[in-house]
Amino acid sequence: MDRHHQVPSSSVQVLSVASEMFPFVKTGGLGDVVGSLPVALRAEGVAVTTLLPGYPAVLDALEGPVRVAEMTPLPGVEIALLEGTAAGHHLLVVDSPALFRRKGNPYLGPDGADWPDNGVRFATLSRVAATIAQGGVPAYRPDLVLAHDWQAGLAAAYLHYDGHPAAPVVHTIHNIAFQGRFPAQDLERFGLPPHAFAMDGVEYHGDIGFLKAGLHFATWITTVSPTYAREIQKPEWGMGLDGLLRSRSDRLVGILNGIDTDDWNPATDPAVLFPYHVGDFRARRPNKRAFQAEFGLRQDPDVFLLGLVSRLTGQKGVDILADVVPRILDDRTQLVVVGSGEAAMEQAFVRLSRRFSDRLACHIGYSEQLGHRLQAAADSLLIPSRFEPCGLTQLCASRYGCVPIASRVGGLADTIIDANAAAMACDAATGFLFFPTDPDTLVAAIQRGGAMFRDPDRWSHLQRNGARYDVSWGHKAREYAQLFRRVLGRNDAVSPGVEKDVLLSRRGGHGRRPWLPGPGVDLPSPRTGRLVRHAARRSRVRGHDPHARPH
């Protein structure tokens, strides 16, 4: 290990455990964060080693790989643990050809359905993480484990049931809608003891809940914006886990994501056809003209060009956008859609592009370069999400002079200042927010944006204000570093952001109120991810009302 990764002894050593990481594998914001946060943490005295599955793209990128351990993490599963570097990152890679050497989406097969062995795949990742945390790799033992989303949720559970003192776990929720639920009969297959299948263990509505386990056993919980941290403690946003999160509110904090400002720099971005400096937004005009030509739209600088770069799913509210297309497109407005997702949503936008061929164009599929070009060309970026833990596209858009029009939810509410009269009067506005997320409010927000676009002086103020906003990882990484040191007891300092957002316990210590699900909750289906109504079940704990929630 030391041959590749020598760090000062005073550094905090963090093992980051994730299922994806840019630039190797990415399906969304999770990959971006896992790829960019370690770089920012170096400046804060935090050395990050990232544990990843051995996907083909990861193995291909790994430089100077060394086999540092062989393990049997689960019954019948054998892996080799590789260590090396890639794209400037220090990596540990779980090499299991049977589990991870599959091209394409890391979670879905060629038919678009979840791989049937996803439970075993990511239980393996979590089990290996727990083994490393207990000193299972020569010359490396992390001070702390940073586990991301449901795929790393069992790491804290394995550490708990192993019963050995080991590194504390900070679990980060990137999207609470994805929970990792698997059948109860897989308990032994996952290497968990029978008594783990309990409400104060990994059991979740009759299934094994990976995310639930992570949130229950983690030392601290973070999520990716202060507003989202508050939202997910409410029944309407918590996806069935709100009670658990309320019971752990003294160990829950929201820290905003940042972006890699070297990667997102219009002056050096190789995807931008006509480079320009942040703040010099008149130089965007050639990009708009070229983008309109690329998509077969009328080349007109005075048209209000709207863009959408998104997964085409219900969470992102793209069905609402599809419904209002006839109301927002006129001779002075165009729309370009870039993304992929649910087949019905893809087909809806293809049909609309044929119906409004002179005003709407779409590219079905994921394209990092096209996303960059769109934000360098479009006047406004549409983000009509029903919920949004943080969102990264609005940060990128503001840096590129593309004014966001977004739902007032989650991290969007934390990072966009609405262009209302008061904000415009004090020259603070950076975009347009609307709530609730419905067709009428979306149309009204687009109309507000269009009206201001036609007032160039006021529009340029919005662009400049957005560009001045610090979207880098700098102070966000500092908040993570201070939280890590707090967890480790290395100092008592908490950054202003953490101090503001943590609901401190008056009871002190690790005291937890019992969590029980409510009388009926909407939970994501373990197979489709769609919300399904679940009735309450009786508590297995004598004397507890199954309908009670912690106060």
- What is the largest distance, in Å, between two alpha-carbon atoms of the chain? 70
DSSP string covering 230-288, please? HHTTSTTTSTT-HHHHHHTGGGEEE------TTTS-TTT-TT-SS---TT-GGGGHHHH
Residues making up the annotated binding site are 26
* Residue ranges with strand state E in 6-154: 12-17, 46-53, 63-74, 77-86, 89-95, 144-148
The strand pair at 144-148 and 169-173 is best described as parallel
Q: Quote the pTM value.
A: 0.86
Residues in Cβ contact with 463 at an 8 Å cutoff, skipping those fewer than 6 apart: 281, 401, 403
To 10 degrees, the CA torsion angle through 362, 367, 373, 374? 40
In the block, residue with structure tokens 């979590």: 126
Are 36 and 16 in contact by the 8 Å Cβ rule? The answer is no
In the block, residue with structure tokens 């050395």: 47
- 3-state secondary structure at position 540: coil
What's the distance, Cα to Cα, between the start and end of the chain in Å? Answer: 47
CA–CA separation, 533 and 520 (whole Å)? 7
- 3-state secondary structure at position 139: coil
Write down the pLDDT at residue 500.
33
In the block, residue with structure tokens 């783990």: 196
The count of residues in the chain is 551
Positions in the chain whose pLDDT score sits under 70: 1-10, 491-551
Spell out the SS3 assignment of 13-46. Answer: EEEEECCCECCCECCCHHHHHHHHHHHHHHCCCE
CA–CA separation, 512 and 195 (whole Å)? 19
To 10 degrees, the CA torsion angle through 527, 528, 534, 537? 10
Are 433 and 418 in contact by the 8 Å Cβ rule? The answer is yes
Are 98 and 147 in contact by the 8 Å Cβ rule? The answer is no
Q: Residue 381's closest CA among 267, 304, 474, 469?
A: 304
> Is the preceding peptide bond at 266 cis, omega within 30 degrees of 0?
no
CA–CA separation, 232 and 212 (whole Å)? 13
CA dihedral over 114, 115, 117, 122, signed as positive or negative: negative
Residues in Cβ contact with 301 at an 8 Å cutoff, skipping those fewer than 6 apart: 285, 288, 289
299-336: pLDDT as tens digits = 999 999 999 999 999 999 999 999 999 999 999 999 99
CA 199 vs CA 94, 99, 205, 217, 514: distances in Å: 30, 29, 9, 12, 9
CB atoms near residue 118 (< 10 Å): 21
Instruction: Tell how far CA 169 is from the center of its chain.
Output: 18
* Beta partners for residue 94, in sequence order: 53, 81
Write down the pLDDT at residue 216.
98
Single-letter amino acid, residue 470: D
123-174: pLDDT as tens digits = 999 999 999 999 999 889 999 999 999 999 999 999 999 997 789 999 999 9
Domains and CATH numbers, the chain: 12-258+478-535 (3.40.50.2000), 281-468 (3.40.50.2000)
Are 38 and 22 in contact by the 8 Å Cβ rule? The answer is no
Residues making up the annotated binding site for ADP-alpha-D-glucose are 26
